[in-house]
Chains A and B, each alone.
Chain A
Amino acid sequence: MNLTLKIWRQKDSKAKGQMVEYKVTDISEHMSFLEMMDVLNEGLVAKGEEPVAFDHDCREGICGMCSLQINGEAHGPDRGITTCQLHMRMFNDGDTIVIEPWRAAAFPVIKDLIVDRTAFERIQQAGGYISINTSGNTQDANAIPISKEAADKAMDAATCIGCGACVAACKNASAMLFTSAKVSQFALLPQGRVEATERVMNMVKQMDLEGFGNCTNTGACEIECPKGISLENIARMNREYLAASLAKS
């Protein structure tokens, strides 16, 4: 199929960017979206132009590196996948596809479609861990029985890949789903309860400092999340935060 692409080009973080139009031809429907981008770039290189820079790595939907707002949706029109898992069979011959970087004050553009997501790193550094040493001298793994339900729920929260689609999709550029996934994972496990109060206070504080917007419960994050992280986690974080605030005051 033949497609028209409208892509955000921006030389670096300081430059002013703009949408630029490209044509790609003979795209197979079995291609992944990023393979289509490879074809575009191969063509640009051949013409001596600079290829479009975009983040990607594992290309199997787990590393969280790929991003892209495609036709106004984080990771494109399909559900439960990342951009690298999006296939061209979701589009039709002759389509125009608009491709933009994640947009958020906390995610400044580095180049073209690449944004800086280190705000997420700082949120994790504020408390996304259990403070035990890695000596291996902990108690036996089976000394802490955990109900299957709690373990499964913790696992569901822990599957977050930190891609930032939640922020990109949210009309408020809120990072609540991301932050709540980690808060929830540890809140559900006995190992994590020990520091639960401190953790939620610190992580939320950092999240606010980074300039993400407020959650208005639109639920867009949950729908666009490639791992289907549930809004339940946000509710849990709200609860944890309220309890922590009351305990602290």
Chain B
Amino acid sequence: MSGLIKSSIARKVAMALSALFLIIFLLLHFSVNFISIFSEDAFNEASHFMGTNPLVQFLMQPILILGVVFHFVMGFVLEAKNKASRPVKYSKYNGGASASWMSRNMLVSGAVILAFLGLHFYDFWVHEMTVKYVEGDMSGVIPGTEHLRYYEEMHAKFADLWRVIFYCVGFALLSLHLLHGFQSAFQSIGVRKFRNAIVKLGNIYAIVIPLGFIFIALFHFITQ
């Protein structure tokens, strides 16, 4: 690990690779969530598979958590280093003249996303862990029934207006984060070929995926 973060370029490559990993994960997460719009059963099946498959649980989940933690910790470390490289600030700095708000405020959007993740983990992950590994109930069914519990639990969460609003804000910031982050990750690992396509794809991804998440949240709020 120390070798990985020895030089500035290695650090940014590590940042980019973790970002690309998270981008792929996000797509997967979105696909599963999106199923909930069409079919309660299919969503339940998918959730149950993800929640009980040992490969997912004991290999992919730790990697994911490591990736998320790494991306955040590294983000803060880089920001701290970057702040230190300009100890005396400009009294007037017109950063907006030459760079987008998104690119200059990755830490802000990142911090909001982190707060969102906190709630998200509290809502789902902590709950899942408790049920599965503390209480030892791996069945995934609502006690006393044969129905899988995932859809119902998730649906219930979106009854709370404030939670929905917070989710929407979180995804809006995620969108801003991705608008810069998607193409930036490719730049960091040195990919300039298909630059225009990457930027376009990034913009589509950064808008469609968070919008989709917002749509799902609103869908469940409205269909209460």
**Could you list 11 A-B pairs, sorted by A, with CB under 8 Å?**
A72-B92, A103-B90, A172-B82, A204-B8, A207-B8, A212-B8, A214-B82, A218-B98, A219-B103, A220-B98, A238-B188
Q: A229 in the interface, Cβ–Cβ < 8 Å?
A: no
Q: B85 in the interface, Cβ–Cβ < 8 Å?
A: yes
Q: B1 in the interface, Cβ–Cβ < 8 Å?
A: no
Chain A residues near B8 (CB-CB < 8 A): 174, 176, 204, 207-208, 212, 214-215
- With A105-B87, A213-B86 known to touch, is A235 a contact of B191 (CB < 8 Å)? yes
Q: What 8 pairs across the A-B complex have the smallest Cβ distances?
A: A72-B94, A239-B190, A213-B85, A172-B82, A223-B98, A218-B99, A218-B103, A238-B190
Within 8 A of B (CB), among A196-235: 204-205, 207-208, 211-220, 223-224, 231-232, 234-235
Interface pair A105/B184, CB less than 8 Å apart = no
Contact residue range for chain B?
35 or more
Interface pair B88/A72, CB less than 8 Å apart = no
Chain B residues near A241 (CB-CB < 8 A): 7, 9-10
Which of B7, B9, B92, B192 gathers the greatest number of chain A CB atoms within 10 Å?
Answer: B9
Q: A237 in the interface, Cβ–Cβ < 8 Å?
A: yes
Interface pair A71/B9, CB less than 8 Å apart = no
Type the 1/0 row for B179-194, where 1 means its CB is closer than 8 Å to any CB of A.
Answer: 0100110011111100
Q: How many A-B residue pairs have CB under 8 A?
A: 137
Interface pair A173/B192, CB less than 8 Å apart = no
- With A103-B90, A171-B104 known to touch, is A238 a contact of B85 (CB < 8 Å)? no
- With A103-B90, A219-B98, A238-B188 known to touch, is A211 a contact of B9 (CB < 8 Å)? no
Q: How far is the CB of A50 from chain B (nearest CB, A)?
A: 21
The docked-state distance in angstroms from the alpha carbon of A171 to that of B184 is: 16
Residue of A nearest to B193 (CB): A235
Residue of B nearest to A217 (CB): B184
Cβ contact of A242, chosen from B13, B93, B106, B184, cutoff 8 A: B13
Main secondary structure of the interface of A (DSSP, over half): mixed
Contact residue range for chain A?
35 or more
Chain B residues near A188 (CB-CB < 8 A): none
The docked-state distance in angstroms from the alpha carbon of A11 to that of B183 is: 44
Cβ contact of A105, chosen from B7, B12, B84, B191, cutoff 8 A: B84
Q: A154 in the interface, Cβ–Cβ < 8 Å?
A: no
Q: B95 in the interface, Cβ–Cβ < 8 Å?
A: yes
Cβ contact of B85, chosen from A104, A109, A237, cutoff 8 A: A104
Q: B50 in the interface, Cβ–Cβ < 8 Å?
A: no
